[in-house]
Structure 1
Amino acid sequence: MSYFDPIVRYQPKIEEVDFIVPERIREACRYRGYTYKEAAKLCGIPERKFGRMANGHTEIPDNYIFNLMKGLGFPKKFFYQIKWERV
């Protein structure tokens, strides 16, 4: 038996921040199976603006959080967390 165990159990570290994290918008869309177009319509956000926000090309105004919560069905806390993955 070797002292080296090739199977490593790793839990991602989740950090709360004070801004909406674009990656979490993408994760929410992927989880629900929505395209950006469908998600934007459900959230009441213009499609072009939604796509730019989800891809991190523009800052996300805090007043959109309730639109995101309602349209994508995730709690507020979800959008304010960074999930650090081990690479």
Structure 2
Amino acid sequence: MYEHVRLTAWVRGRVQEVGFRWWTRSRALEIGLVGYAGNLADGRVQVVAEGAREECERLLRLLRGSGTPGRVDGVTEIWGEPRAGYDGFAVR
């Protein structure tokens, strides 16, 4: 049995207006996660993903990897209990 979790990650760098949210959505859907990616006023992107911990960790590795659009300078994350209520993975 997999532990289900909620990952909230804040991605900083040149991550707005470069297709980063749509890229994140595609990766999350491929992995099987639900949640959203949204731009923040300070230039970061907030990613909220729920699913099996192993799958959320996979998304986090991708966010920190070299294959993202734009330029990721850093990712800060927190882990929590899933809240459910997401239908798919949205771009906000």
Regarding TM over 0.5, the answer is no
Q: Which has the larger radius of gyration?
A: 1
Structure with a larger share of its residues in helix: 1
Structure with a larger share of its residues in strand: 2
TM-score bracket, shorter-length normalisation:
0.3 to 0.5
Taking structure 1 as the reference length, what is the TM-score of the superposition? Answer: 0.33
